[in-house]
């Protein structure tokens, strides 16, 4: 006979072992219903405004060839150098989770022959982005962006329109105390000249720079301008400024953008140190910051964008001017909550259904269906037994009316309608309840 102990077949063997629980990947988080109320408010405002401005929605894959970001965002940027989630597929393709949306949309523009469609092409999008950054408040390894891009128009009025749309969207969402920081970094030609001057300047101050900036100087000197180390900020305060090196076309373009912004009465701040962390930008660059706050880290930026007239060509397409903007949904959600946005009022259920007993429960399920078909926002708690606890919930949801069905009402085919503010109750026959609710909600 075998000496091995016979295993009971009542319980699977693994269930008795202590199993360690699995947690979300560092820097990634779950988003629960209360937070989604805020997110929906942001996304609804974004989608409505973009459609009003003639934008259509685009969705691109979360996974793209790594080469797209190397060529698009830039090999020497922090994002590509240190922050991408990259891996090789089983078929040997080198792919990355997208760290941002613009490069993928430019790829889609080329791949789908959009240059043959009537220009400009105006697209908006939302979704997750992935950056292997040090997680902290407002900075995650998975974050979400809402953004919009315009392809095929080089007119400065379009830069102004994109900035105006970003500004208006933040007003609609209810983001308070913000400023538009704006600069022009010129075209490739004026930038080459500028970079030489910048390298000369920083080389003379090399001993005053942080270790990272010393390394960056040869590869990407413009990144030194937005280093957050105190000593580098000090050196950068007297560095040459991009606007002094703009060629005539870039200078005129920027001047026109600012004139349009003046016409639209947008409160912008000229910021000569604003260069953005992605290599595809040309000419206009801008960010939306919390106004009055010192710009201490990239975290204080709610959104950013600018013109990227060379990106489509860099990715193998035709010469196509483009400009766009995106913002971080987490940062904007945190900001409006801090400013007092109350998602409860948004979630108010105008009518709450209260039931007592199994028969009443069945009637309530049917009535729920009728009410939502009539576009009335309705709450229920069919799992609960006590009328008191259900009325408490109706109160919490700010319901104006409670519709109560007990055993007697279920048999009689009636409903008790209760005004939650006055506590007054009345009996109404089931056939007339929807009309009666609509009448009372109109008051
Ligand atoms: P970006 O400035 O890198 O620009 O990102 C846009 C926004 O996404 C930031 O302002 C910030 O609110 C949010 N964000 C970025 N990284 C994180 C993070 N790790 N955690 C939380 N939020 C974050 C772009 O991505 C460009 N594609 C914008 C653009 C569109 N330019 C032209 N069109």
Residue 13 lies in a domain: no
Q: What is the pTM of this model?
A: 0.87
Q: Distance from the CA of 245 to the center of ligand 1, in angstroms?
A: 27
Residue of 100, 130, 312, 336 to test ligand 1 pocket, by largest number of atoms within 8 Å of CB: 100
153 and 255, same domain (yes or no)? yes
Ligand 1 atom showing the smallest separation from residue 277 Cα? 3
Q: Distance from the CA of 390 to the center of ligand 1, in angstroms?
A: 44
Half-sphere CA count of 297, side-chain side, radius 13 A: 6
Residue of 133, 138, 331, 333 to test ligand 1 pocket, by largest number of atoms within 8 Å of CB: 331
Ligand 1 atom showing the smallest separation from residue 303 Cα? 10
Q: State how far the Cα of 159 lies from the Cα of 285, in Å rounded to an integer.
A: 9
Domain of residue 381, CATH code: 3.40.50.800
170 and 96, same domain (yes or no)? yes
Instruction: Using CA atoms of 141, 143, 148, 152 in order, give the dihedral in degrees to the nearest 10.
Output: 10
Q: Distance from the CA of 12 to the center of ligand 1, in angstroms?
A: 48
Point out the domain boundary residue: 315, 338, 361.
338
315 and 376, same domain (yes or no)? no
361 and 434, same domain (yes or no)? yes
Q: Per residue of the chain (443 residues), give pLDDT as tens.
A: 444 545 555 555 556 778 899 999 999 999 998 899 999 999 999 999 999 999 999 999 999 999 999 999 999 898 999 999 999 999 999 999 999 999 999 999 999 999 999 999 999 999 999 999 999 989 999 999 999 999 999 999 999 999 999 999 999 999 989 999 999 999 999 999 999 999 999 999 999 999 989 988 988 899 899 888 899 999 999 999 999 999 999 999 999 999 999 999 999 999 998 999 899 999 999 999 988 554 444 457 999 999 999 999 999 999 999 999 999 999 999 999 988 888 765 557 899 999 999 999 999 999 999 999 999 999 998 887 799 999 999 998 889 999 999 999 999 999 999 999 999 999 999 999 999 999 999 98
Nearest CA to ligand 1 atom 30: 325
89 and 137, same domain (yes or no)? yes
Point out the domain boundary residue: 338, 358, 393.
338
Residue 233 lies in a domain: no
Q: What is the structure's pLDDT at 1?
A: 41
Q: Is residue 382 exposed (0-12), middle (13-18) or buried (19+ Cβ within 10 Å)?
A: middle
334 and 352, same domain (yes or no)? no
Do the strands 178-184 and 268-270 form a parallel or antiparallel pair, or are they unpaired?
parallel
Q: What is the structure's pLDDT at 13?
A: 58
C-beta atoms surrounding 38 within 10 Å:
21
151 and 274, same domain (yes or no)? yes
Residue of 141, 143, 170, 275 to test ligand 1 pocket, by largest number of atoms within 8 Å of CB: 143
Lining residues, ligand 1, CB within 6 Å: 100-102, 131, 133, 138-140, 143, 145, 147, 149, 277-278, 301-306, 324-328, 330-331
Number of domains in the chain: 2
Q: Distance from the CA of 74 to the center of ligand 1, in angstroms?
A: 15
Residue 297 lies in a domain: yes
Q: What is the structure's pLDDT at 227?
A: 86
Residue 373 lies in a domain: yes
Point out the domain boundary residue: 338, 366, 381.
338
Q: What is the structure's pLDDT at 273?
A: 87
397 and 322, same domain (yes or no)? no
Residue 328 lies in a domain: yes
Nearest CA to ligand 1 atom 18: 139
170 and 123, same domain (yes or no)? yes
Question: What is the extent of the structural domain holding 364?
Answer: 348-442
Ligand 1 atom showing the smallest separation from residue 131 Cα? 19
Residue 242 lies in a domain: no
Residue 201 lies in a domain: no
Q: Distance from the CA of 99 to the center of ligand 1, in angstroms?
A: 9
180 and 282, same domain (yes or no)? yes
112 and 251, same domain (yes or no)? yes
């Amino acid at each position: 006979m075998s000496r091995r102990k016979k295993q009971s077949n009542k319980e699977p063997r693994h269930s008795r072992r202590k199993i360690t629980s699995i947690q979300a990947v560092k820097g990634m988080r779950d988003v629960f219903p209360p937070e989604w109320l805020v997110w929906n408010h942001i996304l609804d405002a974004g989608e409505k405004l973009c459609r009003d401005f003639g934008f259509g929605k685009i969705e691109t894959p979360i996974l793209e060839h790594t080469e797209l970001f190397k060529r698009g965002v830039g090999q020497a940027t922090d994002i590509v150098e240190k922050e991408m989630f990259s891996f090789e597929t089983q078929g040997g393709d080198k792919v990355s989770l997208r760290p941002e949306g613009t490069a993928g949309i430019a790829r889609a523009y080329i791949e789908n022959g959009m240059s043959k469609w009537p220009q400009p092409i105006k697209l908006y999008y939302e979704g997750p982005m992935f950056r292997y950054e040090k997680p902290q408040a407002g900075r995650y390894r998975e974050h979400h962006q809402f953004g919009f891009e315009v392809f095929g128009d080089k007119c400065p009025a379009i830069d102004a329109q994109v900035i105006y749309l970003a500004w208006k969207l933040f007003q609609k969402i209810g983001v308070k105390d913000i400023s538009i920081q704006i600069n022009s970094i010129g075209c490739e030609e004026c930038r080459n000249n500028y970079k030489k001057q910048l390298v000369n300047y920083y080389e003379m101050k090399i001993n005053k720079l942080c270790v990272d900036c010393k390394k960056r100087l040869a590869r990407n000197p413009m990144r030194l301008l937005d280093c957050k180390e105190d000593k580098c900020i000090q050196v950068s305060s007297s560095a040459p400024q991009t606007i002094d090196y703009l060629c005539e076309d870039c200078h005129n373009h920027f001047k026109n953008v600012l004139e349009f912004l003046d016409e639209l009465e947008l409160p912008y701040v000229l910021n000569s140190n604003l260069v953005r962390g992605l290599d595809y930008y040309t000419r206009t660059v801008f960010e939306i910051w919390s106004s009055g706050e010192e710009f201490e880290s990239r975290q204080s930026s709610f959104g950013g964008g600018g013109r990227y007239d060379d990106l489509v060509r860099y990715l193998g397409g035709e010469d196509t001017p483009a400009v766009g903007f995106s913002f971080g949904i987490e940062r904007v959600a945190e900001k409006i909550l801090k400013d007092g946005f109350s998602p409860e009022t948004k979630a108010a259920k105008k009518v709450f259904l209260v039931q007592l007993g199994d028969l009443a429960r069945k009637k309530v399920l049917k009535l729920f269906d009728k009410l939502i078909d009539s576009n009335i926002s309705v709450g229920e708690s069919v799992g609960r037994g006590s009328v008191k606890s259900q009325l408490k919930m109706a109160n919490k949801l700010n319901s104006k009316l409670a519709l109560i069905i007990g055993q007697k009402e279920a048999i009689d085919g009636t409903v008790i309608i209760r005004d939650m503010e006055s506590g007054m109750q009345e009996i109404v026959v089931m056939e007339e309840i929807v009309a009666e609710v609509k009448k009372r909600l109109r008051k």
